[in-house]
Chains A and B, each alone.
Chain A
Amino acid sequence: MKDTRFNKAIQDIKKISMTSAEKQMILGRVLDVQPVPARYKDGNKYSSIKSPWTVYSFNMWIQQHRWISAVVVIAVVLLAGNSAVRASNDALPGDTLYPIKVNIVEPVRVALAATPVAKAEIQAELVQKRLQEAETLAARGTLTDDQEREIQQRVDTQKIELAVHVSEVQKTAPEKAQDINTTVEASINTHERVLNALAINRGQFRAGRNRATSVVKRDEPKNTQKDDTENVVVVARAPNIQSAAPVASVPQSAQGMSVPAAPVMTAAAPMVAPVTVTPEQLAPPRVHVVSTNVEYQKKKARLQSLIQRVSAEIASTTHSATSSLIKQAIADDAKSSLQRAQDSLSDADTHDQNGEADQSYSALIDSERQAKEATLLVEANNRLDKDVRKQEIRSKTTEKRSKRGD
């Protein structure tokens, strides 16, 4: 019953309508309107007109070229990363890029190395790099306490890692392991001597330029030449003792190590005491390969050519007109190293003739190390000289600028 009332009510309501005249009129008006042609059809239910300015819109372009945009973004990210890695290559402690270099790039290199041999080689390289960084800073005269500590820590950590890998390598390729050890030993020794040479030079430089260097004065007998290289020498010395552990050496050659430190001393003498390597600190005696005669001869021949090459290089260095004192000191050192290498070589020969295979091998290794030291010294010489020159040019330009009142 009530339902019908409801329906009736609905019907009543539906009677509200337009008159036919009204209806016709409206229809006519609507159809008269000029329809706006569709301009934008992209599947969306757009009933509006697309803005003509979207042609210039960057966002629109990106939307329409999604794939290309994605590739571009990836390329940019890769490029940026690549630039950072490359730029970080020369970073020194205190630079913003330095953390990238030591914490990211270098561990990645080690991790990516396929074999333990490769890993060990890279790590040896890294240790050397650390020392070089310290040398460069010392040559510039900008080494601070913090930086020294940082480098020290890194060197220690890296040497431990290196030792691990070297012992692995020793199992499979003892020759290689020996090689690596020799190189690292050589670089550590040369590092010390380079710094000594720098210490001497410090005196000259400072007097000449009156430049203020970031120096941490220690309470030592007053020796102006000591300044910051002393800090670095500590860095160099301490690891040397510890390095004796992974870098195994026989007491006999330990003597050989302390001798080179002597000649380059003059005023810096008190700092660089001969490295006393106590036997207890030494690792198990040097493991040597029972070398056949053929191998022996090969090694000998190689060494000979190396020694010749290096002496030629030294000769050219000393002849160049722009020899500064620093170059001279290091060049002399290199020469004496080379001499020692030559001597060791003849020692090896003697032992060999006497049938003392062990000793001859040992002497051969010594010779190799000393030759490498000479090489490294020459290399360090060039490197540091270049760097100091660069710094000079830089500071000259800034001086000019400040004079001009920029």
Chain B
Amino acid sequence: MAKPDIQGTFTDIYTKEADAIFRFCYLRVSDREQALDLAQEVFTRLWQTMNQEGRAIEHPRAFLFTIARNAIIDWYRKKKAVSLEAMENDDTQEPYEPISDSAIADSKLEGEGRFLIDKISDLSPGNKDAVYLRFVEGLSPPEIAEVLKISTNAASVRINRGIQELRKLTRYDIEEDGGQ
């Protein structure tokens, strides 16, 4: 396999998923520049891995979101090291504030979207990412399981619990399986 092929495949993946990754990062870190940096880091990792393995990754989306999630956690750890009061409220489940308010304001998100994002950020820590990945980005439960490093069953459980919570909070009638 000549190198151009890897590049081609990579560019394809990038074109499809770059926005999703950016979005994921942007909603969690309050800074657009920072989000772009993170996105770049994520895709650089993918690029390296594809070159080393010499073949395509099996589930590129799961891979990307895993790296993105870890990168965000790392970034928050660095950030929190500076701020003392943040260390007091140690959230064992989620080491970071999943959806940041300032980012929401900045993105000019309005109406329903804003409402929904707000509510998603109010979900219990275990379920937030699961619901987000499922409904906003359309990841399948196995892919979500890979990202969150849990079993597929556990992922489904989290998704469903998240849906129930979200229903109560939003009064939306959300279908369980949004067909994917």
Residues of B within 8 Å of A5, CB to CB, are 112, 172
Bound-state Cα–Cα, A14 to B135, Å? 10
Q: Mark B22-54, 1 if CB is under 8 A from A, else 0.
A: 110011000000001001100111011101111
Q: A residues engaging B (CB < 8 A)? A: 1-3, 5-6, 8-18, 22-23, 26-27, 29-31, 33, 35-38, 47
Q: Are A35 and B51 in contact (CB under 8 A)?
A: yes
Closest 6 CB pairs of A and B: A12-B113, A38-B52, A9-B116, A35-B51, A9-B112, A17-B19
Bound-state Cα–Cα, A10 to B109, Å? 11
A-B contact pairs, 11 of them (CB 8 A): A9-B116, A10-B116, A10-B135, A12-B112, A12-B114, A16-B22, A17-B23, A26-B43, A27-B43, A33-B47, A35-B51
Nearest chain A CB to B165 CB, angstrom units: 14
Closest B residue to A40 by beta carbon equals B52
Bound-state Cα–Cα, A17 to B11, Å? 17
Q: Mark B112-132, 1 if CB is under 8 A from A, else 0.
A: 111111000000000000000
Residues of B within 8 Å of A3, CB to CB, are 172-175
Bound-state Cα–Cα, A14 to B109, Å? 10
* Known contacts A26-B18, A29-B40, A30-B40; A13 and B172 CB within 8 A of each other: no
Q: Are B22 and A30 in contact (CB under 8 A)?
A: no
Bound-state Cα–Cα, A1 to B43, Å? 39
Bound-state Cα–Cα, A18 to B27, Å? 13
* Known contacts A6-B170, A16-B27, A38-B51; A33 and B113 CB within 8 A of each other: no
Q: Are B22 and A18 in contact (CB under 8 A)?
A: yes
7 more CB-based (< 8 A) A-B contacts, given A16-B26, A33-B48, A47-B45: A1-B173, A6-B116, A6-B173, A15-B113, A18-B22, A27-B11, A29-B40
Bound-state Cα–Cα, A12 to B107, Å? 11
Bound-state Cα–Cα, A156 to B179, Å? 88
Q: Are A6 and B18 in contact (CB under 8 A)?
A: no
Q: Are A6 and B174 in contact (CB under 8 A)?
A: yes
Q: B residues engaging A (CB < 8 A)? A: 7, 10-11, 14, 18-19, 22-23, 26-27, 36, 39-40, 43-45, 47-49, 51-54, 107, 109-117, 135-136, 170-175
Residues of A within 8 Å of B107, CB to CB, are 16
Bound-state Cα–Cα, A15 to B27, Å? 12
Q: Are B47 and A31 in contact (CB under 8 A)?
A: yes
Interface-centre pick from B10, B48, B52 (highest chain A CB count, 10 A): B52
Nearest chain A CB to B57 CB, angstrom units: 10
Nearest chain B CB to A37 CB, angstrom units: 7
Nearest chain A CB to B71 CB, angstrom units: 14
Closest B residue to A38 by beta carbon equals B52
Nearest chain B CB to A199 CB, angstrom units: 83
Residues of A within 8 Å of B19, CB to CB, are 16-18, 23
Residues of B within 8 Å of A30, CB to CB, are 14, 40, 43-44, 47
Bound-state Cα–Cα, A18 to B21, Å? 10
Q: Are B110 and A12 in contact (CB under 8 A)?
A: yes
Nearest chain B CB to A73 CB, angstrom units: 36
Bound-state Cα–Cα, A33 to B40, Å? 11
* Known contacts A33-B44, A37-B52; A14 and B136 CB within 8 A of each other: yes
Closest B residue to A17 by beta carbon equals B19
Residues of A within 8 Å of B174, CB to CB, are 3, 6
Closest A residue to B37 by beta carbon equals A26
Closest A residue to B111 by beta carbon equals A12
Residues of B within 8 Å of A18, CB to CB, are 18-19, 22, 36, 39
Q: Are A38 and B53 in contact (CB under 8 A)?
A: yes
Closest B residue to A26 by beta carbon equals B40
Interface-centre pick from B44, B110, B175 (highest chain A CB count, 10 A): B44
Q: Are A13 and B136 in contact (CB under 8 A)?
A: yes
Nearest chain B CB to A41 CB, angstrom units: 8
Bound-state Cα–Cα, A30 to B48, Å? 9
Bound-state Cα–Cα, A6 to B19, Å? 21
Q: Are A26 and B109 in contact (CB under 8 A)?
A: no
Bound-state Cα–Cα, A33 to B47, Å? 9
Bound-state Cα–Cα, A99 to B116, Å? 80
Nearest chain A CB to B29 CB, angstrom units: 13
Residues of A within 8 Å of B39, CB to CB, are 18, 26
Nearest chain B CB to A401 CB, angstrom units: 66
Q: Are A47 and B48 in contact (CB under 8 A)?
A: yes
Residues of A within 8 Å of B116, CB to CB, are 6, 9-10, 12-13
Closest A residue to B23 by beta carbon equals A16
Residues of B within 8 Å of A47, CB to CB, are 45, 48-49, 52-53
Bound-state Cα–Cα, A259 to B81, Å? 100
* Known contacts A6-B170, A9-B112; A14 and B23 CB within 8 A of each other: yes
Closest B residue to A48 by beta carbon equals B52
Bound-state Cα–Cα, A37 to B54, Å? 10
Residues of A within 8 Å of B135, CB to CB, are 10
Residues of A within 8 Å of B10, CB to CB, are 31
